[in-house]
Amino acid sequence: MINKKQFRIFTIVDLDKEEEYLHEMHLKGWRYRTSRFGFFYFDQCQPDDVIYHIYDSRFLKKYKHELQDFRNSGWELIETGFCSILRKPTSDILSEEKVYMSKDLRWEVMQSRLRSCIATFSGGLVVCMSLYRENLSQSFFIIFVLYTYLISYLIYGFFRLKRKYQVDEK
């Protein structure tokens, strides 16, 4: 069997882009096998229209019945770790399965991940500022710029996903 390895970086606000990437690769005849440290490993297969969904594993552990519902409806669990990756041919997707793909559910998971990320980055920024408060060296400014960029990217991702999922705050 022919294997393929590609390097791609996706952040937590890019999970939708990662799903699209895996879908496109399957359309080209490459079935996703696993990923490690930004390297995606594929096996050659017949090109097919297959939907991939990536869910936060913490969310699926919290709602164990959701994972069992996925399995009962024919979704193949490929990988579990930080994220659970499921796939299913589009021809096998039934109309009642659209519930599992609901934008509200995906938004809830994304909000949880964004909150924890922003809290972590903000905490790191506070630690960084407390370490360098007396002498503002060049390394402080480099770290500060990196943190500013990361937090800005998360905020941009938040609004991009909010627009994509068209979530109305109640």
Domain boundaries, the chain: 3-94, 104-167
57 contact partners, CB below 8 Å, separation of at least 6: 80, 81, 82, 83, 84
Band (pLDDT 50/70/90 cuts) for residue 164 is confident
pLDDT digits 0-9 by tens, 77-131: 887 777 788 888 887 766 555 545 566 667 777 777 777 777 777 777 777 777 7
* Range 122-128, long-range pairs (CB < 8 A, 24+ positions): 122/151, 125/151
23, 52 Cβ separation under 8 angstroms: yes
Q: What are phi and psi of 82, to 5 degrees?
A: -65, -40
- Percent of all residues in the chain with a pLDDT value above 70, rounded to a whole number: 78
Q: What are phi and psi of 43, to 5 degrees?
A: -115, 145
Q: What are phi and psi of 167, to 5 degrees?
A: -90, 130
**More confidently predicted of 38 and 109:** 38
Calculate the CA 82 to chain-centre distance. 9
Closest CA to 10 of 82, 88, 102, 93: 82
Task: Measure the CA dihedral 65/101/27/161, to 10°.
Answer: -120
Mapping DSSP to helix (H, G, I), strand (E, B) and coil, where does residue 74 land? coil
169, 153 Cβ separation under 8 angstroms: no
- Percent of all residues in the chain with a pLDDT value above 90, rounded to a whole number: 15
Stretch among 22-26, 51-55, 57-61 having the lowest mean pLDDT: 57-61
Read off the tokens for 121.
């980055």
d(CA 110, CA 12): 8
Q: What is the pTM of this model?
A: 0.74
80 contact partners, CB below 8 Å, separation of at least 6: 57
d(CA 21, CA 17): 6
Q: What is the pLDDT of residue 85?
A: 86
